[in-house]
Amino acid sequence: MNSATLRKGLLIDASRKLKFTFDGREYEGVAGDTIASALAANGEWILSRSFKYHRPRGILTMAAQDANTLVQIGNEVSVFADRHPISDGLAVRAQNVGNSARRDSGFVMNRLSRFMPVGFYYRTFYKPKGIWEKVWEPIIRAKAGLGKLDVTKPTQGYYDKAYGWYDVVVVGAGPAGMAAAIAAADAGASVLLVDENQRIGGALNYARLATERDLVSEVKGHSKIEIWTDAICNAWYADNWLPVIRGNRLYKVRAKQVILATGLIEQPSQFRNNDLPGIMQGSAAQRLIRLFGVKPGNRAVILAANDDAYGVALDLLEAGVDLAAICDLRKAGHHGPLRSEITQRKVSILDGWCLHEAQPEKGHSHVRGVELAEIDAEGTAGRRRRRINCDLVCMSVGYVPAYQLPLQAGGKLAYDDVAAQFTIDGQGKGVLLAGSVDGFFDLDGCIAHGTGQGWTAAINCGYQSKRRPALPVRDRGSPNHPCPIFPHPKGMDFVDFDEDLQVKDIKNAIADGYRELELVKRFSTVGMGPSQGRHAALAAAMLVSKYTNRTISEVGVTTTRPPVTTEKIATLAGRKFTPFRQTPMHEQHTAQGAAWLLAGNWLRPAYYGHERDAKRLIAEEVVNARNNVGMIDVSTLGGLDVRGPDAAEFLNRMYTFAYVKLPVGKTRYLLMTNEAGTVVDDGVACRRGENYFYVTATTTGVDRIYRNMLWWNTQWRLDVDIANVTAAYAGVNLAGPNARKVLARLNHDIALSPQDFPYLAYREGTVAGIPARVFRVGFIGELGYEIHVPSRFASELWRAIGDAGKEFGIRPFGLEAQRLMRLEKGHVIIGQDTDGMTTPEELDMSWAVANSKPFFIGKRSLEIRNKTLSSRKLVGFVLDRMPTAGLQESNLVVKNGSIAGFITSIAFSPTLGRVIGLAYADRLDADLGSRIVLRASDGSEHHARVASPHFYDPENLRQEM
């Protein structure tokens, strides 16, 4: 089959040789070659093996549209061999083969094909029970799939994304697309022209077409047109949002107007062995000749149903290919201009004949010849036959529009049974079609239509242009044969090459009762392979219409969804953006050896020191804070400035407690419920002035709480301003019996005595020379001061406190120690000790609910909910030691075999020497001293004693010192 090569083509530089390997064998290609073209130039036509029967497969489209050309490069699977360029040393392997594409042990499946009827997946593997998991699944997993991915190897390379904005995006740089781009740009629009090929021009580059205008040069010379080649617009999303893949970058392009000039997809004909290497679309042969200088064969037969076939014939003759015959499916009388050129060349033309069977070389490695048949009155292969030797068959029998993007954009596909042609209509606002995809088949019509649509797009963008171009009229002629399907009694007449589906498979699916195309698709898997029905959808619809006695327009076609073609996960992932927040003391914590924990999106020290000593370090941090003095960075705590004449009234409505009478210089606990009466946040309100509250909120809740406050006030319209100052204020909590002594050593102007600065008081002044908001709250249950300062000065504060505390043995403590000490005091963590139903009553926090207020969010719901109390209550519990099975948060509390609740917090308290925790339990078991049963993850059950959640210093003597 090796051809005397042309090797002069639009995309190649024959003087630059490159060496690459395919299945381990070395080949020589030239610069500009794709893998497929270089192999073809070497006479190597088998690129892959088919999915089910392992039949040899080769070039079908040369347009990266079919699964025949999927190969593996390194760890990248399913690469299009007819698009991917070769390079020196490139190592390519065939997919889905036993050893190589050329010799594949799996070809035995071809002879077993009669044991694999359509839908055999559904029929075969489900009996007896359990056989799927044990036997079939492992076998099929080993056999199925294309390519082999080594999941231990991460994807190499840098992938990222970028946004783009244009007035008009034109997809497809064929004649219509180029004309549209020029017209839009001429009218003033900024235009992006996207094409998946390496060169703009579309069919002008390979088909027998000539224009007076040099559209390519016009486009390239236009300052308002940006050209992206090798770029795939892989979907259309709402409001003209287009993902365009260019190399390792995914562009997210927003267009005011989109023009889809996606062109046509040439369709194969169905006859026996129509999948042999050497049988290809007419356009594929033209691409090989014009783009890559590869002679597609030595002796050809052309299967024709339109005038384009005669263009292919002329190209083949010019390339030095012998033309054995042209077999035209149409009855005599079709005479296009190109056909008359052929008739002058004395080529044998058989009008009204079809291709009945292709005959293979040994091992089905290539086509060896064809048997032609005269079409009888029923439109099937008749008795008159003729056998011809050839090594190339070109099919030019019809097209479907490349409808993927138009349909995603809302277009509806309809079929004109008379013209044997799809029409697309009704795509959304701002989406225009141009050229052959919209039914314009002649070159002049395409260009005129593109020009008109480009102009319209620019006008729709708001540009002014008076010269409205005339829109062409659609040619009534159609290049499509109504049904180029010639079933063979012995089968192997493939409808879907990806899935190895023959005519009889579709027929049998219908016989099994699946009459609707969508059901036939699911049962037979037609159109579900990598090429997504590009070459199979219409043929399947034709067969369903034929065997159910309906028209194609009645049968309809299946829909299409993104993506248009294969895309890599790495492309979708891009560069990862995971924001995190740090407090201004972050560097100092690092220097002190902090182990980090993520709280919301904040990085917080969990404890200070090495992970292997974590347990001991946390206990030491607790003991030091309890007995001496500790310091912790609490900058992540939410901070809100609530200011204005209605500030107190606003808090009164937002929170459950009462704030109107809170004196200036005092703090009060805050509890927030939502409209359903569920506890959603807590914090502290500090009254800085008559009209000024400084409010804290939980670290993870503050952004939501802030947004929610603004929402409520758009309705209440109180005279209050709310500002989220979380990041603006950093905070340190200085806590422990020696806290006052440490604070006294800092340069400050605040009176610290218990009388001057009592528990729950709020003061302002300077600490360590920094303006500070200071308040005393319970926190860990020791004498403590919370000091908030502007972020810019926070590292200064941390250093100053550490220095001042040195002589007292101050130690920083982390979030773990904080949580432990707060659990010892029975402070609940909203979100951990509460869930979507928790009421203040369940938490024993009715003291924080001012029912006398006329309104707060959740008040009305709580009135209703408190009429019938829930069956549960949050209780404290103690265990003498942690069971070996371990008990964790979310482990169940069980009672009489039923779930009564669950553990929300549990830890070993170094202060108390016992395991303490909080859990939801049956309300009837909430009395101190009751026994509750905790079920560990391994199912073992453990008795715990209900205790006051105020495990440590229940009289609060220590924090109020």
- Residues near another protein, by CB under 8 A: 160-165, 237-239, 241, 252, 254, 575, 577-584, 586-587, 602, 635, 641, 643-645, 675-676, 706-707, 710-711, 714-715, 719, 721, 723-729, 747, 768-771, 790-793, 795-797, 854-855, 859-861, 864
Evaluate the omega torsion of the peptide bond into residue 563 and state whether it is cis, within 30 degrees of 0. Answer: yes
Q: Which two tokens stand for residue 232?
A: 């795939």
Alpha carbons 338 and 336: distance in angstroms, whole number: 6
Closer of 284 and 631 to another protein (Cβ) = 631
Q: How far is the CB of 21 from another protein (least distance, A)?
A: 33
Percent of the chain that is helix, strand, coil (3-state, to 5): 25, 30, 45
Collapse the DSSP code of 591 into the 3-class scheme (helix H, G, I; strand E, B; otherwise coil) and give the result: helix
CB of 519 to another protein, least distance (A): 27
Minimum CB–partner distance for residue 579 and another protein (Å):
5
Instruction: Identify the residue whose tokens are 């909590």.
Output: 733
Minimum CB separation of residue 256 from another protein in Å reads 11
Task: Check if the beta carbon of residue 313 is closer than 8 Å to that of residue 336.
Answer: no
Q: How far is the CB of 410 from another protein (least distance, A)?
A: 10
Minimum CB separation of residue 771 from another protein in Å reads 8
Nearest distance, CB of residue 596 and another protein, angstroms:
12
Asked whether 23 and 102 are in contact (CB, 8 A), the reply is: yes
- Say which residues have a Cβ less than 8 Å from residue 44's Cβ, sequence separation at least 6: 22, 27
What is the distance, to the nearest Å, from the Cα of residue 944 to the centroid of all Cα atoms in its chain?
48
When the beta carbons of 206 and 236 are compared against another protein, the nearer one is: 236
Q: 936 by DSSP, 3-state: which?
A: coil
Task: Name residue 314's beta-bridge partners.
Answer: none
Query: Residue 491 and residue 494: Cα distance in Å, rounded?
Result: 8
Nearest 10 degrees: CA dihedral of 288, 289, 292, 293? Answer: 140
Residue 152: exposure state from Cβ atoms within 10 A (0-12, 13-18, ≥19):
exposed
DSSP 27: E
Please identify, using beta-carbon distances, which residue of 333 and 579 lies nearer to another protein: 579
Alpha-carbon gap, residue 251 to 162, rounded angstroms: 5
For the bound state, the minimum distance from the C-beta of residue 856 to another protein, rounded and expressed in Å, comes to 10
* Residue number with CB closer to another protein (289 or 705): 705
Retrieve residue 682's tokens.
């807590």
Q: Closer CB to another protein, residue 730 or residue 780?
A: 730
Three-state SS at 737: coil
How far apart CA 676 and CA 845 sit, in angstroms, is 17
Q: How far is the CB of 193 from another protein (least distance, A)?
A: 19
Q: How far is the CB of 841 from another protein (least distance, A)?
A: 17
Toward another protein, which CB reaches closer, 286 or 635? 635
Pinpoint the alpha helices (H) of 117-174. Answer: 120-124, 131, 137-143
Cβ closest to another protein, residue 271 vs residue 602: 602
In the bound complex, what is the minimum distance in angstroms from residue 796's beta carbon to another protein? 4
Q: Which is nearer to another protein, 96 or 234 (CB)?
A: 234
Least separation in angstroms between residue 799's CB and another protein is: 10
Q: Which is nearer to another protein, 112 or 664 (CB)?
A: 664
CA atoms within 13 A on the CB side of 349: 24
For another protein, which is the closer residue by CB, 252 or 945? 252
User: What six digits make up the tokens of 630?
Assistant: 């500790």
CA 882 to each of CA 88, 906, 911: distance values in angstroms, whole numbers, following the listed order? 65, 10, 15
- By beta-carbon proximity to another protein, the closer residue of 169 and 919 is 169
126 or 711, CB closer to another protein?
711
- 712 vs 20: CA distance, rounded Å: 68
Q: How far apart are the C-alpha atoms of 665 and 757, rounded to whole Å?
A: 10
Q: Are 395 and 279 in contact (CB under 8 A)?
A: yes
Q: How far is the CB of 716 from another protein (least distance, A)?
A: 10
CA atoms within 13 A on the CB side of 14: 11
How far is Cα 823 from Cα 941, in angstroms, rounded to an integer?
23
Judged by CB, which is closer to another protein: 554, or 587? Answer: 587
608, 610, 614, 616 alpha-carbon torsion, rounded to 10°: -90
